[in-house]
Amino acid sequence: MQTVSGYTGHVEFTPGFAPRPAISHVLFDFDGTLSIIREGWPEVMVPMFVEMLPKVAGETDEQRRQMCLDDIMRLNGKQTIYQMMQLAERISERGGVPKEALWYKHEYLRRLDERISGRKEAIRSGKVHRDTSLVHGSRLLMDGLQRRGLKLYLASGTDEVFVKEEAALLDVARYFGPHIYGAQDSYQNFSKKMVIERILRENNIAGAQLLAFGDGYVEIQNTKEAGGLSVAVASDEANNGSGKVDEWKRQRLLGVGADIVVADYRDAEVLLNRILGT
């Protein structure tokens, strides 16, 4: 792994990295990659899982909490419903009678909304500038990509209705036009892999022409499987703009083949020049 000088923030390139001047399409994850409106969501989901999960003899509260956290983060980047399906399975394993996974999803979203509704209202009212709820340098990056004529897509494991609402609130929907995709209650109709396949098919391009930015293993793994170049955004969401990497994200995303690791996008211009060989 090479940390390159000439950047003001944390930027790492894997030994196999090589510039790709032919890149024409770019895929973004949303939460943690662009938006931090939902920062702290595990602090909502983990306690809910712990609350819903039947206890077993000899298990400490910390062991139970850690198991829930591991289940949740292993599925991070996939649609939220998959985490709820895992919860229902755990409840069954422990002799409980679970509700439908969709019920748990809606309950989680209700609780999450209690945490983030004030943030959205503050942006809406102008009390807080919308760019403070974007990963540092996001607009600089998207402007740079757009100026270079690249086509941008957004795919999120968060429900599409919320992704579109929050993308509009943050004034980033305009970068993606009609290409904003998110989770559906009919979860079989969406996945990030399906979005990648659609990009390649509809634009008649090879996987090597795809660049992806994400902070979850799913989009990194799917991009690499398609032959694309992936940038792991190991964003420190709780301290946006600190320039520090989230080491847990960094290790996990390198483990699924990330080509580049960044803390944020403060070095967007020089990074894009390196990626595109310009």
Cβ neighbours for 60, distance < 8 A, ≥ 6 positions apart:
none
Residues counted in the chain? 278
Reduced to 3 DSSP states, what percent helix, strand and coil does the chain have, rounded to the nearest 5?
50, 15, 35
Query: How far, in Å, CA of 147 to CA of 243, rounded?
Result: 25
Question: What angle do helix axes 101-125 and 160-169 make, rounded to 10 degrees?
Answer: 10
Query: How far, in Å, CA of 108 to CA of 261, rounded?
Result: 30
Q: Does domain 2-36+134-276 have CATH number 3.30.70.270?
A: no
Rg from Cα positions in the chain: 19
Cβ neighbours for 229, distance < 8 A, ≥ 6 positions apart:
20, 23, 208, 210, 211, 212, 223, 259, 260, 275
Q: How far, in whole angstroms, is CA 8 from its chain's centroid?
A: 23
Q: At 25, which helix (H) or strand (E)?
A: strand 25-28
Residue 13, beta-bridge partner list: 2, 260
Query: What one-character DSSP code corresponds to residue 35?
Result: B
Considering only CA atoms, which of 25, 24, 29 is closest in space to residue 155?
29
Residue limits of CATH 3.40.50.1000 in the chain: 2-36+134-276
Strand 25-28 to 210-214 pairing: parallel
**What pLDDT, on a 0 to 100 scale, did the predictor assign at position 165?**
98
User: 17 — phi, psi (to 5°)?
Assistant: -65, 140
- Reading the chain (278 residues) residue by residue, the pLDDT tens digits are 445 557 888 999 999 999 999 999 999 999 999 999 999 999 999 999 999 999 999 999 999 999 999 999 889 889 999 999 999 999 999 999 999 999 999 999 999 999 999 999 999 999 999 999 999 999 999 999 999 999 999 999 999 999 999 999 999 999 999 999 999 888 899 999 999 999 999 999 999 999 999 998 899 999 999 999 999 999 889 999 998 999 989 999 999 999 999 999 999 999 999 999 98
What own/partner pairs with CB < 8 Å and gap ≥ 24 does 40-49 have?
A: 40/115, 40/237, 40/238, 41/112, 41/115, 42/69, 42/72, 42/73, 43/115, 44/108, 44/111, 44/112, 44/115, 45/72, 45/83, 45/108, 45/112, 46/72, 48/104, 48/107, 48/108, 48/111, 49/87, 49/90
| Dihedral sign of CA atoms 238, 240, 242, 248 in order | positive
Helices (H) and strands (E) in the chain, counts: 11, 8
Query: How far, in Å, CA of 257 to CA of 274, rounded?
Result: 19
Q: How much is the pTM?
A: 0.92
